[in-house]
Amino acid sequence: MRDVVITVVDGRIVTVTPWRADSVTYDLSRYTVLPGLIDAHVHLNGFFNRQGKLANSEDGETPAQRAEERATVALVTLRAGFTTVVSMGADAEKELRDQVRAGTLPGPRILTSLAQIRDTTLTPDALRRLVRRHAADGADFIKIFASGALVGGGRPMFSDGQLSALCDEARRHKLRAVVHAHDDVAILRAAAAGCTQVAHGTLATAAGLEELANKGVYFDPQCGLVLRNYLENRSRYEGIGDFDSTTVALIAQLLPKLPGLLRTALATPGLKLAFGSDATAGAHGRNAEDLVCRVREAGQAPMDALIAATSGNADALGLGREIGTIAPGFQADLIALDGDPLRDIEAVLRVRFAMKGGVVY
């Protein structure tokens, strides 16, 4: 649409009408206005500490220092046009989420899992109890590790019975279950277990993705930002956890293959593709680089990439009537880009205005 006036009252869009020489509060006519972007996969708890290294439990920082660094992550993400993010979470994100929600800290709407379930020694009953505990703690969804780290071969972790218990218990609490899975074995288990979304799929084949499509499971593959960021910032990651020269070599080998995975996903009929950048330390605020990658390197149509990161993701999150669309009744999450992203997708990297719930940041 061109030359329209979007009227916002109490944080919501009330009308979208043709402009007739009205005076307006914000004249964005030089820009392209979009619904605020949504990233369905970030790690707000991944950030660099004061020594410039990946923050970790042994770096001696105080909870207050960490909270400040986490708050910076939230702000740079919002200012990059992402008004909603889904964080594969940590306990500490609860405070951040609640402060943003209360309006005392600037940041995107945050959905967090508060924890990541990876203990394969637990029985199905114990796993159900764990899901119930996260639900009671206020988790917005459940995050499950169904594959190990790629460095260890990305092997499947939870059995069919364990995954079914986890995803079934999540469903009973009306929580989405997002499953980190790399190969077809883990992907097929997640699909059979009725989980909501599979993340990564780094080693997936067309057959695995077809099964996700058949079962209506959302898929959020990454196009490049996450791995490129590890290489760019390798000195800040190296020596922490299991990140070493073997990790770097593996990442360098996998990075050029990611756009191919996206192409396979785009060619899979009926596959519901969410947009998730997997942004962590070093990549926050650069989330849209993965949208550019989708268009430039994986051949996705610019409009489809934009829809994936707005109304498509809103649907994936069960928030399709709340966010991701510019229409009466929706939250006033609006951004303005310098340029036309349909002709020049890099315009998504040039966010000049960001409003969330009617508040300009």
220 binds Zn ion (CB under 5 A): no
What are 84's strand-pairing partners? 38, 109
**Closest separation between CB of residue 280 and Zn ion, Å?**
7
DSSP 117: B
What are 6's strand-pairing partners? 16
Distance CA 227, CA 230 (A): 5
**Closest separation between CB of residue 278 and Zn ion, Å?**
4
**Closest separation between CB of residue 150 and Zn ion, Å?**
12
The residue number with the shortest CB distance to Zn ion is: 278
Q: Which of residues 65-94 bind Zn ion (CB under 5 A)?
A: 88
**Closest separation between CB of residue 117 and Zn ion, Å?**
14
Is 156 within 8 Å of 175 (Cβ atoms)?
no
- The size of the interface with Zn ion (CB under 5 A), counted in residues, is 2
CB atoms within 10 A of CB 222: 24
Type of residue found at 223: C
Q: Which of residues 175-214 bind Zn ion (CB under 5 A)?
A: none
CB atoms within 10 A of CB 327: 12
Select 183 or 278, whichever has its Cβ closest to Zn ion. Answer: 278
Select 278 or 333, whichever has its Cβ closest to Zn ion. Answer: 278
Q: In the structure, how many helices (H) and strands (E) does the chain have? A: 13, 14
Contact map string, positions 237 to 276, toward Zn ion, x by CB under 5 A = ----------------------------------------
Select 88 or 203, whichever has its Cβ closest to Zn ion. Answer: 88
Select 88 or 288, whichever has its Cβ closest to Zn ion. Answer: 88
- What are the DSSP E strand ranges found in the chain? 4-9, 12-18, 32-35, 37-42, 82-87, 109-112, 141-145, 176-181, 197-200, 218-220, 272-273, 334-337, 351-356, 359-360
Select 143 or 236, whichever has its Cβ closest to Zn ion. Answer: 143
**Closest separation between CB of residue 283 and Zn ion, Å?**
11
- Pick the binder of Zn ion from 169, 183, 211, 278 (CB under 5 A): 278
Select 278 or 289, whichever has its Cβ closest to Zn ion. Answer: 278
From 213, 159, 153, 219, select the one nearest 186 (Cα to Cα).
Answer: 159
* Residues at the interface with Zn ion (CB under 5 A): 88, 278
